[in-house]
Amino acid sequence: MKDAGEDAVVADGLRKRYGGTRALDGFDLRVPEGTVCGLLGPNGAGKTTAVRILSTLLRPDGGRAEVAGLDVARQTRQVRYRIGLLGQHAAVDEILTGRQNLEMFGRLFHLDGRSARRRADELLRQFGLADAAGKPPKQYSGGMRRRLDLAASLILAPQVLFLDEPTTGLDPRNRGEVWESIRTLAAAGTTVLLTTQHLDEADRLADQIAVMDHGRVIAEGTPDRLKSKVGGDRIDLVVRDAAALPAAAELIARVCGAEAETEPELRRISAPVRDRMSVLTEVVRALSDAEITAEDIALRRPTLDEVFLRLTGHRTDEEAAA
Amino acid sequence: MKTTTPAVLGTPPTPVPPATPLSLARWAVLDGWTIARRDLMHWVREPTRILGTLIFPIVFVVLFGYVFGSAMSVPGEGAYREFLMPGMFAQTMMFGIGTTMTAVIADTAAGVTDRFRSMPMAPSAVLTGRSLADIVNSVIDVAILVACGYVVGWRPHGGVAATLAAVGLLLLLRFACVWIGIYLGLVIPSVEASGAVWGLLFPFTMIANTFVAPSQMPNWLGVLAEWNPLSSTVAATRELFGNPGLEEGSWIAGHPVLMAVVWPSVLVVLFFLLSMRRYRRLSR
Ligand SMILES: Nc1ncnc2c1ncn2[C@@H]1O[C@H](COP(=O)(O)OP(=O)(O)O)[C@@H](O)[C@H]1O
Ligand SMILES: [Mg+2]
């Protein structure tokens, strides 16, 4: 564990209740300075609540949090000079132009008029919005709105950037654009805490993933470690003939050295794989030896659901009470 | 902590955080002005938006002034449209509750309120800025309505000072409605719910002396109408504009100017405090 001075985000035993719901229930997290942390969890896990507490929007019922070395509850104003926040929607004014938006936010960060204008122009260029600077976000694409949103969070070049499901609702192209921006920021040394419901998003962006369930972190580690813990990639095999299912399952289990899951109604068999490269050829060879006809065969990353099944023993949509 | 700035972020400026109570106060005012300016720029960029808030009163003037007007009787004597216009002015101020409420809810829904709250700006500025913007908007509303009044034959007869006083009372009512709207906007969870709340509120903008004299209503309704803060402003402006329709039956009807100051002032203080408290509690 790193010592406290090097962690840009520290959460110790954060608790937050809404009536009978424990949104956060002993939430602990440390994000080392200059790294990207992916907070991964299903809907309702408490990701937004955690981000809202860390970004000073919400007071916890218990526990404490530090951001950029400052206590979130007691040094709120100082924290606010050092953070950027992107919520689930692009929080920009729809009627003002892109430039007017950034100038307004700059003024609210207590810049004088000239600095606010200069900074607005610089960020518009930086985020490829110079041509759209005179247009309102209403006329922007989803990705452009997100970029303006991001630019507004970066006016003071914050030490810590919080992103709550930054790509939800974006199409793949715009999602790629946002990923690219996050990567560039991270490479430049900004500490990023982002929430997501998608394992592959966390995998692509994060140095460290914290898996959340029912208000607390249930597993933590690098994407690789987490994946090896849950079995890494998986192979899916669909057989043409349902009668061949048991034989095929046995074959897959032997090749992969792990138990295979069978879904008879889909004629599908799924199993974790260790070595992506060799397993495909081995499976194909074994299938032809056994004269089993495959309809589809594919390697894929585990879904969030499978990660959860491994880590918690329950699926994402099952309640804690179960 | 790291102090060097990544090149990709360009050259971010370093603001000087306010340290003394005086600089905090100065920034609170400037932040409020920045927020207000944002809203005023909306009207500059999309001037047609003003029609949205004025279409209702103009329809009312046509409907009541011309369609129903001939069947209406003015208490005492006088032309119905002379009687009607002060009512229209004040009712438009009252409709401002909806305008303000919608704007506050829209900002919350879009996440703009949260962005403001995550920034080092003065917390009070979000609300004071909104109230400043809405009151400036209302000056424009009143000016347009007065012009409409002139078109349909309404005239102020009370002299410059009395006319300005009447306009002042209208804006005071609007100011109360701004804070009611801000409070409701902070309390109501969604744009959809605001429609229902406005449906509940709407009758209160109608149960008043705007269109007919309370003395012509059933007893209980008449009392309700007389004690509606809107009625005091309507009666006071009728008096100051020198328009017909004054009633002196009850105590409240007999002291319109006094009550047109007292009612909105009480509401401003009440809903200002409620709104500020509610805003602070957003972090709960
Ligand atoms: N303002 C609120 N009022 C009541 N319940 C809430 C509120 N915010 C969150 N919750 C509840 O707390 C839990 C965690 O929510 P949230 O932090 O939004 O999860 P996530 O962002 O991971 O989907 C959920 O069960 C949610 O219903
Ligand atoms: Mg969420």
CA distance B145 to B161: 19
Q: Which residues on chain B are in Cβ contact (under 8 Å) with A80?
A: 118-120
Protein residue with least CA distance to atom 1, ligand 1: A18
CA-nearest residue to B283 within chain A is A58
CA distance B56 to B91: 10
Our mutation pick for probing the ligand 1 site, out of A48, A52, A86, A212, counting the most ligand atoms within 8 A of Cβ, is A48
Nearest to A208 by CA among A187, A228, A194: A194
CA distance A303 to A199: 7
Would you call B31 an interface residue with chain A, using a CB distance cutoff of 8 Å? yes
∠ Cα A164 B128 B16 (to 5°): 65
This complex has an ipTM of 0.88
Instruction: Name the residue type at position B93.
Output: M
* Residue B6 clears pLDDT 60, i.e. is over it: no
Integer angstrom CA distances of residue B125 from A193, B27, B170, B279: 28, 9, 24, 11
Q: Which residues on chain B are in Cβ contact (under 8 Å) with A33?
A: 1-2
Element at A263 (helix H, strand E):
strand A261-263
C-alpha distance from A98 to closest chain B C-alpha (Å): 13
Q: For residue B58, what pLDDT band results from cuts at 50, 70 and 90? A: confident
Would you call A78 an interface residue with chain B, using a CB distance cutoff of 8 Å? yes
Which region among A204-218, A307-321, B76-90, B242-256 has the lowest average model confidence (pLDDT)? Answer: A307-321
Ligand at shortest distance from the CA of A87: 2
Residue among A97, A110, A122 minimizing CB distance to B120: A110
Rg (CA), chain B: 22
Q: Are strands A62-67 and A70-71 parallel, antiparallel or unpaired?
A: antiparallel
- pLDDT confidence of residue A318: 52
Report helix, strand and coil shares of chain A as percent, to nearest 5: 40, 25, 35
Protein residue with least CA distance to atom 13, ligand 1: A23
pTM equals 0.86
Q: How far is the CA of A272 from the centre of ligand 1 (A)?
A: 33
In contact, B236 and B168? CB cutoff 8 Å? no
∠ Cα B101 B280 B283 (to 5°): 100
Is there a contact between B37 and A104 if contact means CB atoms under 8 Å apart?
yes
Average pLDDT of span B179-195: 91
What is the SS3 assignment for B227? helix
Integer angstrom CA distances of residue B236 from A78, B89, B158: 50, 12, 12
What is the SS3 assignment for A244? helix
Residue among B7, B119, B282 minimizing CB distance to A108: B119
Question: If you count them, how many residues does chain B have?
Answer: 284
Tens of pLDDT along chain A (322 residues) come to 444 448 999 999 999 999 999 999 999 999 999 999 999 998 999 999 999 999 999 999 999 999 999 999 999 999 999 999 998 888 999 999 999 999 999 999 999 999 999 999 999 998 999 999 999 999 998 889 989 999 999 999 999 999 999 888 888 888 888 888 899 888 888 999 999 988 888 888 999 999 999 999 999 988 888 777 776 788 999 999 889 899 999 999 988 888 888 888 889 998 888 777 788 888 999 999 989 998 999 888 777 677 777 777 666 655 443 3
The torsion angles phi and psi of A166, rounded to 5 degrees, stand at: -65, -20
In contact, A18 and A48? CB cutoff 8 Å? no
Is there a contact between A119 and B10 if contact means CB atoms under 8 Å apart?
yes
CA distance A196 to A168: 8
- pLDDT confidence of residue B249: 77
Instruction: Name the residue type at position B228.
Output: N
3.40.50.2300, 3.90.280.10, 3.40.50.300, 3.40.640.10: which CATH number matches A7-228? 3.40.50.300
- pLDDT confidence of residue B247: 78
Average pLDDT of span B154-169: 95
3.30.70.3400, 3.40.640.10, 3.40.190.10, 3.30.70.100: which CATH number matches A233-300? 3.30.70.100
What are the domain boundaries of chain A? Answer: 7-228, 233-300
Tell me the pLDDT of chain B averaged across its residues: 89
Name the more confident of B44 and B60.
B44
Q: How far is the CA of A156 from the centre of ligand 2 (A)?
A: 25
Average pLDDT of span B32-42: 95
Element at A24 (helix H, strand E):
strand A21-32
Is there a contact between B15 and A68 if contact means CB atoms under 8 Å apart?
no
Is there a contact between A105 and B115 if contact means CB atoms under 8 Å apart?
yes
DSSP secondary structure code for residue B2 in this structure: -
Q: Work out which ligand 1 atom sits closest to the CA atom of A42.
A: 22
- pLDDT confidence of residue A322: 34
Q: Work out which ligand 1 atom sits closest to the CA atom of A41.
A: 22
CA distance A261 to A254: 13
Q: Which of B118, B128, B280 to mutate to test the interface with A (most CBs of A within 10 A)?
A: B118
- pLDDT confidence of residue B254: 86
What is the SS3 assignment for B91? helix
Residues ≥6 apart with Cβ < 8 Å to A321 = none
